[in-house]
Amino acid sequence: MAKSPLQKRYDQESNQLDKDVSYLDTRVDDQTEQIADITVLSIPSDTLYAQTVVDANSYLSQAVNFGIVAAGCGCSVAGLGSTAFLVGTAVTVFYEVARAKMKNVNSDSYDGDAPNDDNGTVNLTNNAGPNTTLNPNNYGDGYKNVIENSGVGTVLRYISATQLVSGICTQSCSALYTAQQQALTDYNNAKATGPRDEYGGQSRIVKGEAMEYRRQRWAFKKGKKFSKDRQDRIKNFYPNAGPTGIQTS
């Protein structure tokens, strides 16, 4: 039986859709390769950015530990809310964590309809606290790096060089005071906004460029999905496109 003009038109459309899907597959692969080649450029700046958090948390831990040691030595320190050793003071401090902010389109598998909506964060550092380490598995991810309060807190007891009570210790209060002050100086230097802004800015430039290709890839994937859905509808409808109309058997 000769094909109806309608069937011939569906044949033409189906053949074109086959070509479209093949083309879009190639474009998705091209964008994925481009994204990988771009994001690797952010590894050095992501590393330096996260390292400032590793360093800051390490120095803060040192300062905290010096205060604990000094308390055992009878140095002038105070517990939080304590009236003992009033010359010293104590505050609650929090360790940091480095993160990359994500949008939906940052996920390789995302095929929804809101590519530019925020989608949480991924960590650039592990183990908020004294044992913080780098997390290179997530370098290159996201569109913007941020440093946030981890929620992990501890008490920092500031040391005075004066020894108010006797204690058994191999270090003098003056030496512990000096050591803690150096740790706090190093801590503040590690937290300095200048280097963090520089490293974060470098990463943002690279990730911003990668985001352009992520959006293009998302668009190609959506086009591919639309084309395949259209193919499925044609295959479902095609038997009913003959000259005898819709069949019931």
Instruction: Report pLDDT digits (tens) over 77-117.
Output: 655 444 444 445 788 999 999 999 999 999 998 989 999 99
Q: What are the domain boundaries of the chain?
A: 42-237
- Considering only the C-alpha atoms of the chain, give the largest distance between any 2 of them, rounded to a whole number of Å: 108
**pLDDT over 70 for what percent of the chain?**
86
Candidates 227, 241, 203; CA nearest to 18 is 227
Return mean pLDDT, the chain: 87
Q: What is the dihedral of CA 128, 134, 137, 138, to 10 degrees?
A: 70
Q: Which helix (H) or strand (E) holds 152?
A: strand 144-157
Token pair belonging to 218 = 């998302």
DSSP 242: S
Percent helix, percent strand, percent coil in the chain, to nearest 5: 55, 20, 25
What integer pLDDT is reported at residue 228 of this predicted model? 92
Q: What is the pLDDT of residues 30-87, one digit of tens each?
A: 999 999 999 999 999 999 999 999 999 999 999 999 998 888 777 766 554 444 444 4
Candidates 38, 32, 23; CA nearest to 203 is 38
Residue 41 neighbours by CB distance under 10 Å: 17
174-180: average pLDDT: 90
Backbone phi, psi, residue 221, to 5°: -65, -40
Residue 50: how many CA atoms within 13 Å on its side-chain side? 27
- Rounded to whole angstroms, the Cα distance separating 213 from 227 reads 21
131-160: average pLDDT: 94
3 state SS of 46 = helix
What integer pLDDT is reported at residue 71 of this predicted model? 80
142-155: average pLDDT: 95
Residue 249 clears pLDDT 50, i.e. is over it: no
